């Protein structure tokens, strides 16, 4: 497995070694020891989540606050997404910056999103199955988020905004400035 840090400290792209033959393929999606050896991060995932979405669905930008913050390892099982994470660590040199990557079922890359990041994705193919592991349990009282089209962040979702399908809940999220009292 190749593990490369992005320009956001602590955020990594994982590219697995895929073994293909006439039967199909095999890959190791996560190895705690290899991940630790390459990143120095000791993690233990306690919750796995799965979503299936149609093209144009945008989920996010979500995060958990305080002691309920979550690191995530995200991947696409089937289909394709543009995955986005935003550094919301106030003491970070990259506070307010975002990283985006195409994740799909072809190259099978994954993204490790550390605690202190907001996360979201837009679905680029119908019937996309998205999976993510979390190192902390979901806590409704700690959930928060930032509007996907926040002017301060200026995220390029590479998608026509009129075609985006978003939940009512996600349209009520705060702006970046309101979240962090800038």
Which residues are annotated as catalytic? 62, 132
Residue 164: exposure state from Cβ atoms within 10 A (0-12, 13-18, ≥19): middle
Angle at 88 between CA 101 and CA 121, to 5 degrees: 30
Residue whose token pair is 């988020």: 145
Structure tokens at 91: 């003491």
Beta strands per DSSP E along the chain: 2-5, 12-15, 18-21, 24-27, 47-53, 58-64, 72-78, 80-87, 98-104, 110-113, 117-123, 128-134, 143-145
What sign does the dihedral 47-145-89-154 (CA atoms) show?
positive
CB 66 within 8 A of CB 74: no
**Under DSSP, is residue 68 helix (H, G, I), strand (E, B) or coil?**
helix
């Amino acid at each position: 497995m190749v593990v490369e840090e992005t320009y956001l400290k602590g955020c990594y792209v994982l590219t697995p070694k895929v073994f293909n033959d006439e039967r199909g393929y095999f890959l190791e999606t996560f190895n705690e020891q290899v991940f630790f050896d390459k990143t120095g991060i000791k993690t233990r995932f306690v919750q796995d989540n799965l979503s299936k979405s149609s093209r144009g669905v945008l989920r996010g930008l979500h995060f958990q606050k305080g002691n309920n913050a979550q690191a995530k390892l995200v991947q696409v099982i089937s289909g394709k997404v543009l995955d986005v994470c935003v550094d919301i660590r106030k003491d970070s040199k990259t506070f307010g910056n975002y990283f985006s990557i195409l994740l799909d079922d072809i190259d099978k890359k994954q993204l490790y999103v550390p605690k202190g990041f907001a996360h979201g994705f837009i679905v680029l193919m119908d019937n996309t199955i998205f999976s993510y592991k979390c190192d902390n349990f979901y806590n409704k009282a700690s959930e928060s988020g930032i509007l996907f089209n926040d002017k301060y962040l200026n995220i390029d979702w590479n998608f026509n905004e009129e075609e985006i399908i978003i939940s009512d809940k996600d349209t009520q999220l705060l702006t970046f400035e309101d979240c962090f009292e800038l």
